[in-house]
Chain A
Amino acid sequence: MNGPPESLQNVFDEAFTSVSQARERFEPKLIVREIGTVTTVSTGVAYVAGLPGVGFEELVRFPGGEFGIAFNVDEDELVLA
């Protein structure tokens, strides 16, 4: 193996360093976010009303952390798979 191997200790140090840095940098403020409403769900496809700013093939996060890909973007409705 070439170069120094990354030890588990280093990995954990880096992970927690990132958490610490993000915590120090983070300044909470009111930010406007776009939201939509799930109107129908069938066979893994969700129909969502709202989200006017979402484009084709963009990822949309559902409550609970699941993601959907926008594959049909209409004016009033969005279809996510």
Chain B
Amino acid sequence: MTTLRAQSRHGPTVSVLPKRRSTICNGSHHVDSRRAVLASVKATGTRTLNQAIRRRTQEEVFAIARKALGDLSSATLEERMAEVFIRKVQDMDDATKATLADASKKSADPVVVRSAFELPPKERAGINDALNRAFSADVRVRFETAPELVSGIECATNGHKVGWSIADYLGSLENGVAELLKERETTEAKVEPKPKLGETASTPQAKEAPKPEADPAPKPEATAEAKPEEQAETKPDADSAPKAEAAAETKPQTKAEPKPANEPVAKSP
């Protein structure tokens, strides 16, 4: 108390003033760096939540579409889709025709044509005829029903398939949306502003502030549009199979937090 009174009466001494300034400056740097870390963590959390919302929204939109179309589809719709499929097979480009024809020739098994509902003889004959013309050969065809197509036709031969079904349509559309969202998220991560640090921005401590995931490492992509059929009686164990999230584990973690300045940077006047 005595000291304080003495200071208030006579003002701070020359030796006390630089020390006080140094302490205040230190505290300011520390607060700024903590604030930057907090902003970074908050931004990362917000981005993760936003990505989750977008992904779930996309999944739900397509799940609703699948359910609605599955509930409303009928054999009549299937016949109509078979007609369109025949037309599409006839209009296939040469490369696609050649790929399928080669695959078909190399296999002893017949070409499998699946549909959600059983096709009437007229549509079966039409599809068989279209495949004969497309492959320029007398193609043996086996017809099967596959309710998971929702509605439509799928033609598979020796590890290759073409599909004209609602499931295929929605799957392709969903991939398109996923790619768009991924593009946006990548752009968003790149352009996200760095946390400002006020007046101390030019100090070395400020430069060490973390950049929130500015350069995400590439994730393994489903580059091969491979999709195993569910022909085998033993289905893949859904619980034991790795989930899509497992691939996301390879994402880079947020950068290390900057350490607060331990030594005062302010100089005494």
Contact = CB atoms under 8 A, between A and B. Distances in A.
Say whether chain B's binding surface is mostly helix, strand, loop, or mixed: mixed
A11 B227 contact: no
B159 A34 contact: yes
B40 to A, nearest CB: 10
Contacts of A35: 156, 159-161, 226-229
Q: Classify chain A's interface size.
A: 35 or more
Contacts of A55: 224
A44 B172 CA distance: 27
B83 interface: no
Contacts of B163: 30, 33
B222 A15 contact: no
A5 B99 CA distance: 51
Contact of B176 (A6, A22, A38): A22
Interface residues of B, number: 63
A43 B101 CA distance: 37
B241 A66 contact: yes
Given A19-B61, A60-B228, A46 B236 contact: yes
A59 B159 contact: no
A67 B58 contact: no
A62 B244 contact: no
A39 B229 CA distance: 10
A20 to B, nearest CB: 9
Interface stretch (B20-28, B49-57, B120-128, B256-264): B49-57
Contact of A52 (B43, B159, B192, B242): B159
B149 to A, nearest CB: 11
A11 B53 contact: yes
B142 interface: no
A39 B232 contact: yes
B248 to A, nearest CB: 11
10 contacts: A19-B57, A22-B173, A32-B100, A32-B161, A32-B162, A35-B161, A44-B242, A54-B224, A57-B220, A66-B238
Interface of A: 1-3, 5-6, 8, 11-12, 14-16, 18-19, 21-23, 25-26, 28-41, 43-44, 46, 48, 50-55, 57-69, 80-81
